[in-house]
Amino acid sequence: MKYILLLNIIIFSVCVNAQTKISFPSKDGLDISADFYEGEKDNPYILLFHQAGSSRGEYKEIGKKLVQLGFNCLAVDLRSGKESNYVVNETAKLASEKGLAQEYIDTKKDIEAAIEYAFEKNKKQVVLFGSSYSASLSLVLALKNEKVQGVVAFSPGEFFKPSLDINQEIKGFDKPVFIASSQREYPYVFEYDAAITSKIKTFFKPQNGQGEHGAKSLWKNCETNKEYWLALMLFLKQFN
């Protein structure tokens, strides 16, 4: 009951937390743009990664609400993307100007750099939060990185075959994980169940509607957003 009450407070409250635009270098020196949603200094960090053709703007609503749940959040512009919610992907724009590769797989170095950056802020393990292709990469990169304590993956999938097989790469995944999808996507994402050995794993799909692809499932214009939020809140409470 208390979680339903908290959910209603978060969903219907007017979020006044202002994000701050920051930058930090990727593994190859490219400047990465990100929005920092600031909570208490010692709160753990959730790193927010967007889907294809998108930007850090994908998390304009989400980041502020996660701060209310007791986290610091960093919404990162990966080098593969365009824009979301009228926010241009500045990392992708800069990568294009420099003639750098911008395939999905090239964003791995950006995710790795974000992990290092956030961990150095308060020396606490981070949570990775991915959307679509970045959800898949979050699972892969979290597996052997001791600075990552868990993963939230919205609509992960096999976006990298034949060069990278996600199901094979994440075998033995033993960290807390929350995997969400639309109803249509659920049979495909559930194929990762056998590869994930963690005792703390959630596979979620909405019951009262189709849902959306990726983190858009949490946007207020998604008819099933409350279902997603409640399930996500119950998962995240273990980290703070």
- pLDDT at 7 > cutoff 70: no
* Mean pLDDT of the region 222-234: 98
Can you tell me whether residue 41 is helix, strand or coil?
coil
Average pLDDT value over all residues in the chain: 95
CA distance 119 to 134: 19
- pLDDT at 220 > cutoff 90: yes
pLDDT at 240: 86
- pLDDT at 15 > cutoff 60: no
Q: Is 154 left (phi over 0), alpha (psi -120 to 50) or beta?
A: beta
Instruction: Show the domain range for 61.
Output: 2-239
Amino acid in position 195: A
Work out the end-to-end distance of the chain between its first and last CA atoms, rounded to an integer number of angstroms: 19
| Secondary element (H or E) of residue 18 | none
Q: Are 78 and 50 in contact (CB under 8 A)?
A: yes
* Mean pLDDT of the region 109-123: 98
pLDDT at 200: 98
Going by C-alpha positions, the residue among 148, 150, 155 that lies closest to residue 134 is 155
pLDDT at 4: 56
Amino acid in position 237: K
Can you tell me whether residue 42 is helix, strand or coil?
coil
Number of domains comprising the chain? 1
pLDDT in tens, 25-83: 999 999 999 999 999 999 999 999 999 999 999 999 999 999 999 999 999 999 999 99
| Confidence tier at 86 by pLDDT (50, 70, 90) | very high
Query: DSSP per residue over 165-215, as a string?
Result: -HHHHTTTB-S-EEEE--TTTHHHHGGGGGGB--SSEEEE--SSS---SGG
Residue count (the chain): 240
Please give the share of the chain, as a percent, with pLDDT higher than 70: 93
Q: Are 55 and 81 in contact (CB under 8 A)?
A: yes
Helices (H), the chain: 2-12, 60-68, 90-97, 108-122, 133-142, 166-169, 186-189, 225-236
Give whole-number Cα distances, 107 to 118, 196, 235, 237, in Å. Answer: 17, 23, 26, 29
pLDDT in tens, 201-214: 999 999 999 999 99
CATH of the domain at 158: 3.40.50.1820
Q: Are 216 and 222 in contact (CB under 8 A)?
A: yes
pLDDT at 52: 98
Going by C-alpha positions, the residue among 57, 35, 55 that lies closest to residue 46 is 35
| Confidence tier at 84 by pLDDT (50, 70, 90) | very high
**Token pair of 10 as six digits:** 């978060």
| Angle at alpha carbon of residue 204, lines to 158 and 19, rounded to 5° | 85
- pLDDT at 11 > cutoff 80: no
Burial (0-12, 13-18, 19+ Cβ within 10 Å), 9:
exposed
pLDDT at 3: 54
**Token pair of 161 as six digits:** 């075959």
Amino acid in position 168: Q
Give the range among 7-11, 42-46, 98-102 with minimum mean pLDDT. 7-11
Please give the share of the chain, as a percent, with pLDDT higher than 90: 92
